[in-house]
Amino acid sequence: MWNKYCKRHRPQVVEWRGGSQVWKYMLQARDDMDQEIWWEVRNGHSSIWYDNWTQLGSLNYWLPISHSIDENFEEVKQFKEDDGWNYTLIENMCTEQVSQQVHNVLKNVQWSEERDKPWWMPNQNGKFSVKSAWEIFRQRKEKKENIMCIWEKGIPFRISFLLWRIWFQRIPIGEVLETFQHLFMQCPISKDLWSLFAGAAGVQGPFVQIKQTLDKWWKSDCVAKLKPLFRAVPIFIIWKI
């Protein structure tokens, strides 16, 4: 299957271009499942950008959308020095936060000739099971139903796209989640806007996190004809902020 569909490309970035139904379903589940695999560094053959070796997740998804990926750096072992990690290079290629994460979590890596070992994080023994994978897929499928509210009919694409980027933290306003929460939820202007509209609509707070707040609006108990309005209002609030 690798030779047929991936060839010289990493399976994390291969797109659907036809093939068997099995391959199609594998690609559909890939983004959800791949983030649950932690690659324990041994010889450093793991991908810098597409494998979860830092325990932050795939850096291709974790880094801000504005971050430029240097494809000349492919494998984790390129960050290795004689006496350990090249933290300066990691910071330059990734971010200071990634460099600090490597220092905190991977400082004492035991380099060897063995290939990096994958661990399935949902199970304590690190071994993959179909049961645990199905549970993850089921839970995330339910969450994706909320994401579909982002694309509510009648909302301009640029507004929905902004919220989509915020939802997945793919907007360059900072490196950590707290920055998003402060800007869109906790600063005085944001608090006033949320309180004003929530009071008029009867949506009960508190409003602390973005996803939690959107969930309150989208799942509010209202008549069916008002559902589109309750889905659209919080999106426009975020757009105005």
Same domain (yes/no): 146, 236:
yes
Look at 83 and 17; give whichever has higher pLDDT.
83
Indicate the range of 43-52, 118-127, 168-177, 197-206 predicted with least confidence. Answer: 168-177
In the predicted model, what is the mean pLDDT of residues 141-148? 63
Last residue of a domain, one of 128, 150, 181: 128
Question: Mean pLDDT across the stretch 39-52?
Answer: 93
Give the C-alpha distances (Å, rounded to integers) separating 151 from 29, 145, 157, 163, 201. Answer: 22, 11, 8, 9, 21
CA distances from 41 to 48, 85, 116, 204, 221 (A): 11, 12, 5, 47, 49
Residue type, 241: I
Per the CB < 8 A criterion, the answer to whether 136 and 33 are in contact is yes
Q: Are residues 120 and 147 in the same domain?
A: no
- Determine the Cα angle at 135 with ends 144 and 166, to 5°: 30
CB 152 within 8 A of CB 231: yes
Helix (H, G, I), strand (E, B) or coil at 80: strand
Task: Choose the final residue of a domain: 128, 150, 179.
Answer: 128
Please indicate, yes or no, if residue 193 is contained in any of the structural domains.
yes
The backbone region for 37, taken as left when phi is positive above 0, alpha when psi lies in -120 to 50, beta otherwise, is beta
End position of a domain, from candidates 85, 103, 128: 128
116: in domain: yes
Verify that 167 and 189 share a domain, yes or no: yes
Extended strands (E) in the chain: 37-40, 80-81, 84-85, 117-120
Q: Are 119 and 187 members of one domain?
A: no
In a domain, 229, yes or no: yes
Mark whether 235 and 154 lie in a shared domain. Answer: yes
In a domain, 79, yes or no: yes
CA distance 234 to 187: 16
Domain that holds residue 171: 142-240
pTM for the model stands at 0.53
Copy the structure tokens of residue 221.
């108990």
- 176 and 229 assigned to the same domain: yes
Above pLDDT 70, what percent of the chain? Answer: 80
DSSP 135-178: HHHHHHHHHHHHHGGGG-TTS-HHHHHHHHHHHTT-SSS-SSHH
Kindly tell me if the per-residue pLDDT of 95 is higher than 60.
yes
Is the residue at 71 inside a domain? yes
Q: Assess whether 105 and 83 both reside in one domain.
A: yes
**Same domain for 146 and 230?**
yes
Examine the domain organization and report whether 124 and 69 are in the same domain. Answer: yes
pLDDT single digits (tens) 56-75? 888 887 887 678 888 889 99
Q: Is there a single domain that holds both residue 123 and residue 147? A: no
- Residue 15 inside a domain? The answer is no
Considering the domain architecture, whether residues 122 and 172 belong to the same structural domain is answered as no
Domain count of the fold of the chain: 2
Domain-located, residue 13: no
One domain, residues 123 and 155: no
| pLDDT at position 175 over 50 | no
User: What is the rounded average pLDDT for all residues in the chain?
Assistant: 80
| Residue 62 burial (C-beta neighbours within 10 Å; 0-12, 13-18, 19+) | buried
Looking at the domain assignment, is residue 167 inside a domain? yes
